[in-house]
Chains A and B, each alone.
Chain A
Amino acid sequence: MEVVLASSSLDAGIGCWDLQTGAEQLRYKSCASPPHGLVCVGQRFLASSQLRDPSASSGSILYWSWSKPQVEVKSFPAEGIKPLAANREGTYIVGGGVSGDIFLWEVASGRQLKKWHAHYRAVTCLVFSDDDSLLISGSEDGSVRVWSLFMIFDDIRQKEANHLYEHNFSEHTLRVTDIMTGYGGCNAIIVSASEDRTCKVWSLSKGKLLRNVVFPSIIDAIALDPGEHVFYAGSRDGKIYIAALNAESTSNSNYGLHIIKSVSSHSHNALPLRKFQFRKMVCSAEEPYVLAYSLSNALHNKAVTCLSYCASGNLLISGSEDGIVRVWDAKTHDIVRVFKHAKGPVNNILLVRQDLNSNSWPNSQAPSRRHGSLLPPALEKYANPMDEDADVKVVMSLHSSCTKSMDASYSSSLVINNQIKELQQQGSSGATEMEVERLKLDCRSSMQMVQQWKKMYENLNQFCVNELLDDDQARISNGNSS
Chain B
Amino acid sequence: MAAFNHFKNMYDVGLKPRLLRMLLKEHLPDDTNPFGNPAGISTVVSMIKTHGLLSESSVEESADQRICLLGVTCQECSSDRFLASYTLWFHKLLPFIQSPADSLFVKVATCASLSDMFTRLGGFPNQKKDGTSHAGKVIQPVLKLLNDDSSEAVSEGAVQLLCTIITCFPSSVHRHYDSAEAAVASKLLSGKCSADMLKKLAHCLALLPKSRGDEDSWSLMIQKILFLLNGHLNDVFQGLEEETKRNEATRLLVPPGKDAPASLGGHTFSGEVSDDSPRRSERLLMSSVSTLMLSCCTMLTSSYPVQVNIPVRSLLVLVERVLAVDGSLPQALLPFMTSMQQELICAELPVLHSCSLELLSAIIKGTRSQLLPHAASIVRLITSYLKRCALPELRIKVYSILRVLLISMGVGVAVCLAQDVINNVYIDLDPISSKVGHSSSIVSSKASSETLLQPGRRKRKHGTDTAYLEEQHDLGGLQVETPKNHSISPISLRVAALEALEALFMVGGALRSACWRSNVDLLLINTARNSLEQGWATEIVEPNESSASWVDFQLAALRALLASFLSSVHVRPPHLAQGLELFRRGKQETGTRLAEFCAHALLALEVLIHPRALPLTDLPPSSCNSFEEVSRKFSENVGSGGVKYGEPFAGGIQGIRNHNPSVEEDDLYESWLENGKETEAPDIIPSKNTRYNEEPPEALGGSDEENRSVDGTPGTRFQEKRGNEPATTSVDVRMRDNNDDIMVDADLLHKSIAQVKEPVSSKSATVPVSNDGSSGAEIVSATVVSGSGVSDHAGNVFASSKDVLAAEGDRSTTVGVHTSATTEMSEKTTGDAFDLDGEDPFPEIFDVEPDSDEGQD
Contact = CB atoms under 8 A, between A and B. Distances in A.
Given A91-B368, A211-B731, A212-B725, A411 B160 contact: yes
Interface residues of B, number: 148
A396 B366 contact: yes
A258 B104 contact: no
A405 B35 contact: no
Q: How large is the interface on A (under 10, 10 to 19, 20 to 34, 35 or more residues)?
A: 35 or more
Interface string A379-417: 000000000011111111111100001011111111111
Contact of A407 (B164, B712, B798): B164
A206 interface: yes
Interface string B412-431: 11111000000000000000
Given A153-B375, A227-B614, A419-B105, A247 B736 contact: yes
A205 interface: yes
Interface in B767-825: 796, 798, 800
A415 B109 contact: yes
Interface string A358-377: 00010111101000000000
B798 A248 contact: no
Given A249-B652, A283-B706, A286-B704, A412 B370 contact: no
Nearest to A289: B717
Contact of A408 (B69, B119, B303): B119
B108 A251 contact: no
B370 A364 contact: no
A134 B164 CA distance: 43
Interface in B364-400: 366-376, 379-380
A428 to B, nearest CB: 8
Given A413-B45, A419-B108, A261 B652 contact: yes
A210 B703 CA distance: 35
A396 B308 contact: yes
Interface in A149-169: 149-151, 153-157, 166
B41 interface: yes
B662 A332 contact: yes
B116 A410 contact: yes
A229 interface: yes
A429 interface: yes
A464 interface: no
B332 interface: no
A361 B122 CA distance: 24
Given A210-B743, A398-B302, A413-B72, A361 B112 contact: no
A210 B302 CA distance: 46
Interface in B399-455: 409-416
Contact of B310 (A394, A423, A434): A394
Interface stretch (A63-71, A183-191, A318-326, A465-473): A183-191
B104 A284 contact: no
Nearest to B67: A412
B154 to A, nearest CB: 9
B660 interface: yes
A410 B310 contact: no
B837 to A, nearest CB: 12
Nearest to A279: B668
Interface in B297-317: 300-314
Interface string B301-339: 111111111111110000000000000000000000000
Contact of A246 (B122, B509, B644, B739): B739
Contacts of A248: 613, 647-652, 655, 732, 736
Contacts of B309: 393-396
B614 A363 contact: no
A326 to B, nearest CB: 18
A386 to B, nearest CB: 10
Contact of B72 (A251, A392, A396, A416): A416
Interface string A257-298: 110110000000001000100010011111110000000000
Interface in A450-471: none
B109 A419 contact: yes
Contacts of A424: 38-39
A214 B647 contact: no
Nearest to A260: B652
B248 to A, nearest CB: 9
B652 A393 contact: no
B616 A434 contact: no
B644 A244 contact: no
A469 B638 CA distance: 135
Among A132, A211, A389, A416: residue with most chain B CB under 10 A: A416
A220 to B, nearest CB: 20
A424 B37 CA distance: 9
A242 B657 CA distance: 14
A253 B301 CA distance: 57
B646 A210 contact: no
Interface of B is mostly: helix
Interface stretch (B12-20, B250-258, B554-562, B757-765): B250-258
Interface string A221-253: 000010101100000000000101111111111
A165 B509 CA distance: 19
B167 A407 contact: yes
Contacts of A271: 664
Contacts of B270: none
A300 B128 CA distance: 64
Contacts of B709: 282-285
Contacts of A213: 727
A416 B306 contact: no
B314 A416 contact: no
Contacts of A254: 712, 714
A108 B309 CA distance: 10
Contacts of A279: 668
A430 interface: yes
B651 A150 contact: no
Contacts of B160: 411
A192 interface: no
A224 B256 CA distance: 54
A314 B617 CA distance: 10
Contacts of A110: none
B725 A257 contact: yes
A391 B311 contact: yes
A368 B68 CA distance: 42
Nearest to B413: A150
A397 B374 CA distance: 18
A438 B34 CA distance: 9
A133 B302 contact: no
A140 interface: no
Contact of B373 (A87, A153, A286, A390): A153
A355 interface: no
A201 B732 CA distance: 13
A172 B74 CA distance: 71
A124 interface: no
Given A249-B732, A394-B309, A430-B103, A389 B255 contact: yes
A441 B652 contact: no
A206 B571 CA distance: 12
A110 to B, nearest CB: 13
Interface in A317-343: 330-332
Given A187-B740, A410-B116, A412-B113, A212 B614 contact: no
Interface string B34-62: 11001101100100010000000000000
Given A413-B68, A416-B71, 14 more contacts: A206-B570, A210-B743, A227-B614, A242-B652, A331-B616, A392-B311, A394-B367, A394-B370, A398-B308, A410-B74, A411-B115, A412-B116, A430-B108, A430-B151
List the 10 closest A-B pairs by CB distance, nearest first: A412-B71, A251-B646, A133-B410, A285-B712, A260-B652, A246-B613, A154-B376, A131-B410, A150-B412, A148-B412
27 contacts: A131-B410, A150-B379, A185-B410, A187-B740, A203-B743, A208-B746, A210-B735, A229-B651, A244-B735, A245-B742, A246-B613, A253-B652, A256-B722, A284-B704, A285-B713, A285-B714, A389-B255, A392-B311, A395-B307, A397-B308, A407-B207, A408-B167, A410-B119, A413-B49, A414-B112, A419-B38, A420-B42
